[in-house]
Amino acid sequence: MLRPSTILMQRAMRIGMIPADGIGREVLPVAQRVMTAAPGAPQFEFVPLQAGFEHFQTTGEALPQVTIDTLKNECDAAMFGSVSSPSHKVEGYSSPIVRLRKELGLYANIRPVSGPILPGSPIQSPVDIVTIRENTECLYIKQETLEETPNGKVARAIRQITESASTRIGKKAMEVALSRKTMRAKAGSQDPTKVTICHKSNVLSVTDGLFRTSVRAVYESDKKENGGQGRYEGILLDEQLVDSMVYRMFREPNVFDVVVAPNLYGDIISDGAAALVGSLGLVSSVNAGDSFIMGEPVHGSAPDICGKNVANPIAAVRSAALMLEYMGYTEPALAIYRAVDAVLTQGKVLTPDLPGGKATTSEVEGAILRALA
């Protein structure tokens, strides 16, 4: 977790705002207004920035250099809306969010799934899972080839797993687990804290094998270095094959706590976990490095509802709160979480992606602001 510096506490916090595509332009302004209204929040200065497929279509640039430079040199954190990456190859285009993660050293994507159980959910008991997704490699390095052969076209993709990136994400997962353990203890909870390594090393023994052993080494070396009583004492370590994890996640989600996974698996299981709480429109994330953090709702750009004022802003609002939490501003973050949970529990002001929801984006924003007050 990052901590607010003395300099930052003496001036407005500069937040780069990158709505990008589709409903990002509708939900990010809501998150901005909720952050500003949160009790205990610092002063904010919001810096509008450009990126996205729509920007690429008009300028030929998906991620302008000025956006990168402004984030690096002038901003304390950032919020990203959504991106409309096409499903087919477009010459000259690459995903701006993937590049931003690399440019800013945001090697961890932290995606919690929790909150009230809504009507229509496949489970009836509360779920509290956080996925720590490695953000920089796996198949997302996007080294693909396509060649013609006598038997037709052959496409290949390189999957990269490194010891250094796997160790780094393993440490991040342990730090998140430590934070959750501390918070549970303060709340008087006796629930154990567990880290589950998600992999497929029974088939991909080299790449997933390296990820698995690298994360395990973080846990085991801590014990050796501290005579069996390391910092991670009291945290359980478990493993789960990715295919069986998907099954168990829907059948018995309560067995999972902190899940650490390579990039592709982490992307898939965290999106799937959104079904446990009712909608992708509820699920937040942050892209975290060692010195910068960027909030990002898990949902996509949703072009079918863009401009209709029915997009669910809660994922963006929760992402803003998560960004504040990981920067050390726990009071306003908790206030936002509680306000959102109050609106969801009451169940009267919900967008159409949720069971029985008929409210507009603006009406949900109003309900959250009233709950904050």
Between CA 152 and CA 110 the distance in angstroms is: 41
Per residue in 167-206, pLDDT (tens digit) is: 999 999 999 998 888 877 777 777 889 999 999 999 999 9
Rg of the chain over Cα atoms, rounded to whole angstroms, equals 21
* Residue 227 phi, psi dihedral angles, 5° rounding: 60, 35
Per residue in 284-304, pLDDT (tens digit) is: 999 999 999 999 999 989 999
Residue 349 scores a pLDDT above 70: yes
The three-state secondary structure class of 55 is: helix
Helix axes of 330-346 and 361-372: crossing angle, nearest 10 degrees: 120
- Using a cut of 0.85, tell me whether the model's pTM lies above it: yes
- Band of pLDDT at residue 4, cut at 50, 70 and 90: low
CA atoms within 13 A on the CB side of 12: 11
In order of 24, 99, 139, 216, 251, the CA distances from 296 in angstroms are 10, 14, 21, 29, 28
Residue 9 scores a pLDDT above 60: no
Q: What tokens does 106 get? A: 């945001």
Residue 259 scores a pLDDT above 70: yes
In order of 61, 67, 158, 323, the CA distances from 286 in angstroms are 24, 18, 26, 6
pLDDT for residue 233: 82
> Over the chain, what is the mean pLDDT?
91
Tell me the mean pLDDT in the region 250-260: 92
Tell me the mean pLDDT in the region 324-329: 91
Between CA 155 and CA 151 the distance in angstroms is: 12
- Band of pLDDT at residue 265, cut at 50, 70 and 90: very high
- Percent of the chain clearing pLDDT 90 (strictly above): 70
pLDDT for residue 42: 94
pLDDT for residue 2: 59
Task: Give the best-scoring range by mean pLDDT among 99-103, 159-163, 266-270.
Answer: 159-163
Per residue in 203-243, pLDDT (tens digit) is: 999 999 999 999 999 998 877 666 666 788 889 999 999 99
Strand partners, 155: 146
Residue 120 scores a pLDDT above 70: no
Per residue in 86-116, pLDDT (tens digit) is: 877 888 898 899 899 989 999 999 999 987 7
User: What domains appear along the chain, each with residue ranges and CATH number?
Assistant: 10-113+278-372 (3.40.718.10), 124-277 (3.40.718.10)
